[in-house]
Structure 1
Amino acid sequence: MVRGAHRFKICQYSYGNVGTDVNADGFIRSSTFRVGGFDWAILYYPHGYGDDSEGFISVFVEFMSKYDGATALVDLRLINQVTGEPKSWCSFFREDEDPIRFKSGSFEEATWGKERFIRREALEDSVYVRDNCLVIECVITVLGELRVSETKALCEVHVPPPNALQHFGKMLEDTSTTDVTFKVEQETFAAHRAVLAARSSVFQKQLSEPMKKKTSHITINRMEPKVFKALLHFIYTDSLPKMDDLDRDENNAVLQSLLAAADQYDLERLKLMCARILCTDLDVENVAGVLWLADKYNCQKLKEACVDFMDSSNRIDVVVASQGYQLLKRSSPCPLTDAWEKRSRARISFR
């Protein structure tokens, strides 16, 4: 079986079915997501589906693959936006139950869910609606067909999972074979020029054979030691280090600096990893700085996430008034600040 999850964020929840996002039949469909080789979507009816659902919202999962069928278990949940934890609201998720058989074709065969999912008044001022947004999570387990082979292998050789990155990580800890050192402020880091050159085109040029005698000891300017340490950790392990000792603001600051360092050393995967985490940790104080960072280092998806955050539920007025925005405006003006301020003033005038 294959299990996957998708979260569907409903913005402007209080407006119900007013707006272009609502289908003529009174529902909003999420983007398509793929689980078990099949396409799925979430259907949200802000004013219910059917005559018996007045005062309720209705939620269904829809099988979107054409000319096909799938057997699956489904769990429809609401996300507590205070704790971030999901709560099951409509479930068909026990492996010992007969699963649902989805087929393309009619609405009844292609969907499963609940017409009376939850009363709208029960959502008002609840932990499930924040900033006029509601988040629905759908967890799907697709079950494959049981197949029994008549033959049996004579022997089975167990092959352990790949562990090359573990060995590279140990190389970073062992300084006996290093051949280049970096001084970052008052700290020194030892590394292997072959590993650095293989991972970064910038290091490859800097540590090439003609430059070997000049690059045994390198000073790194304008970078904190903890940021350079995280950069080396990624180069050797292809992953981010644990930063449990940092609080939320410190962790966010390190990620922003690490994204800039990733761009400097041509480490695109690290750059995208930092951008993905920053997308999930935006608030009114840091979004302006992250937007400036995304614009400077050409992170389009991160830029879009910042703009969506600022625009969602009229947050832009709060962002423009925040200390972080004002500091950014004075120190490093973002190309988008004027446009956002105009939009903010226009909204205030409209009110």
Structure 2
Amino acid sequence: MAAAVADGELSRSTIVSDRVRGRHLLTIHGYSDTRITAPTGKCVKSRPFTIGGHRWRIGYYPNGLSSAVEDHVSLSLVLDEDVAVAVKAQFAFCLAGDMDECEEELWQELSLTWSPVRDFASWSGWEHPKFIKRLDLQSSGHLNDSFTIRCDIIVFHDCRAVDDAAAFVSVPPCDLRQNLGELLENEKGADVVFEVGSKIVCAHRCMLAARSPVFAAKLFGPMKEGNVEGVVRVEDIEPDLFKALLHFAYTGSLPETSNKEDQDAVYQQHLLVAADRYDMGRLKLICEEKLCKYIEVGTVATILALAEQHRCEGLKKACLEFLTAPNNVRALVATDGFKHLSTSCPSIMVALMAMLRIS
């Protein structure tokens, strides 16, 4: 008898290309000084950093790459190593944003600004001659004699064969942040009620205890707070700030606000105080970073006092660096904020008096 022949059998194989993406933040301090010390065509290189298994540097041209673009800030990305085969990569530069945005949204936002896929040979790079006009930078709200550049890089690796399952299964990005945000918003399963001013806010004890040791002590410790109805009263904080604090506890990000620049500076100061009060370290650092952008003659005294009182070393250093400019420290002395600083933070006055003697 002849052997039976199977009919309709199907086999599959899959070839994929690996890619690795990453980001580097380069902060330029003393922008006005860099314009003096680096003439047109001269760049200052960043420290080396690694993305996709390769070492890179960013070149910063404060007066442009050439005379044709001397009214611009120019940038370059350089492969800072010896390679046998050129590295294929894409890159995008932008000013670092003010929001703690969702990671996937950041990449979508950059989708229209990526360079073409480039070949990076050993020690070579590609330029972005017209990154931003200096006048646009100065009016952007990002510049306070310092600003931060975000460089996003995608490195493409070789193609390879993979198991067939990869042809059928596509794993979406993690949506935990969205899920937890919705949990806070719809209050499903909430087991603690906060009375904040005239507002009632519901939340979940375990979530808050996991995110803040202060909440853990208040909600589960031997001296846990709450009346017979289980209501916890919260003093000395505005309802909107407390809701922002909870939003960060659930999602690791801050809700969007419509605050103007001067309002946002005050908002970030109050939020920093709340973050310190509830021992939420990452939120406190985010507030510090944002407040660094609002340091000027009219605000430096208040921000410096805040930094000293709440042990914000990075913010304190940023304020003192701003005051190394003789004109800035002299202008500070003439403000009402200086009087407040002298009474609230006498230890700071020693450093300021030394700066005045030097200037």
Asked if these proteins are the same fold (TM beyond 0.5), I'd say yes
Tell me, yes or no, if structure 1 residue 335 matches structure 2 residue 355. no
| 1:181 equivalenced with 2:193 (yes/no) | yes
**What residue ranges of structure 1 are gaps of 5+ in the alignment?**
19-25, 80-90, 104-108
**Is 2:275 aligned against 1:255?**
no
Query: Is the CA contact 1:320–1:341 (under 8 Å) kept in the aligned structure 2?
Result: no
Counterparts of 1:163 and 1:43, CA distance in 2: 36
**In 2: Cα distance, 1:133 partner to 1:204 partner:** 41
Q: 1:147 maps to what in 2?
A: 159
Post-superposition offset of 1:189: 2.1
1:94 aligns with 2:116: yes
Q: 1:289 aligns with which of 296, 302, 306?
A: 302
Unaligned 5+ runs, structure 2: 1-18, 97-112
Taking a change above 3 Å as real, the CA distance of residues 315 and 211 of structure 1, as seen in their structure-2 partners, is: closer
From 199, 215, 219, give the equivalent of 2:211: 199
Residue pairs, 1:43-58, within 5 angstroms: 43=59
SS in 2 for 1:144: strand
Picking from 305, 312, 315, the partner of 2:318 is 305
CA–CA separation in structure 1 for the residues paired with 2:35 and 2:87: 35
Given candidates 215, 221, 225, the residue that maps to 2:239 is 225
Q: What's the secondary structure of 2:57's corresponding residue?
A: strand
Partners in 1 of 2:62 and 2:186 — Cα distance?
59
In 2, Cα distance between the equivalents of 1:304 and 1:297? 13
Is 2:185 aligned against 1:168?
Answer: no
Q: 1:153 to 1:311 in 2, by over 3 A?
A: same
Distance 1:213 1:136 in 2: 43
After TM superposition, the structure 1 = structure 2 runs for residues 77-88 of structure 1, keeping only pairs within 5 Å, are none
CA displacement, residues 58-115 of structure 1 (integer Å, 9 cap, x when unaligned)? 9754433466763445678999xxxxxxxxxxx99334xxx34331xxxxx445559x
- Aligned partner of 1:36 in structure 2 is 52
User: Are 2:1 and 1:13 aligned?
Assistant: no
Contact 2:247 2:253 in 1 (8 A): yes
> Deviation string for 1:223-256 (max 9, x for gaps)?
2222212112222222211112x22222222221
Corresponding residue for residue 86 of structure 1: none
Any idea what SS the aligned residue of 1:329 has?
helix
The aligned amino acid for 1:94 is: P
Q: Find out whether 1:242 has 2:283 as its counterpart.
A: no
Q: Distance in 2 between matches of 1:143 and 1:195?
A: 37
Identity %: 30
RMSD: 4.3
8 Å CA contact 2:218, 2:225 repeated in 1: no
> Residues of 2 paired with 1:176 and 1:59: CA distance?
49
2:87 alignment counterpart: 70
The more displaced of 230-239 and 148-157 is 148-157
Q: Secondary structure at the match of 1:40?
A: strand
**1:14-50 Cα distance to aligned partner (Å, 9 max, x none):** 54269xxxxxxx864333344433332244678999x
Q: Which protein, 1 or 2, shows the higher relative CO under an 8 Å CA cutoff with sep ≥ 6? A: 2
Q: 1:136 and 1:223 mapped to 2: Cα distance?
A: 31
Q: CA deviation at 1:157?
A: 2.4
Check conservation: 1:11, 1:313, Cα contact below 8 A.
no
**2:293 pairs with one of 280, 283, 290:** 280
Q: In structure 2, do the counterparts of structure 1 residues 140 and 163 end up closer, same or farther at CA, with 3 Å as the change threshold? A: closer
Q: Is the 8 A contact 2:301 2:332 kept in 1?
A: yes
Q: Distance in 1 between matches of 2:236 and 2:144?
A: 41
Structure 1 residue 257 displacement after superposition: 1.6
C-alpha displacement at 1:343, in angstroms?
A: 1.0
Give the TM-score of the pair, scaled to structure 2.
Answer: 0.67
3-state SS of the aligned residue for 2:307? helix
The CA deviation at 1:147 is 1.0
CA contact (8 A) 2:304 2:316 kept: yes
Whether contact under 8 Å (2:79, 2:120) holds in the other structure is no
CA contact (8 A) 2:35 2:62 kept: no
Query: Equivalents in 1 of 2:346, 2:137: separation in Å?
Result: 34
| Shift in CA distance, 283/218, structure 1 to aligned 2, threshold 3 Å | same
CA drift at 1:164: 3.4
Ranges of 4+ aligned residues in structure 1 off by more than 6 Å: 45-49, 56-59, 74-79, 129-132
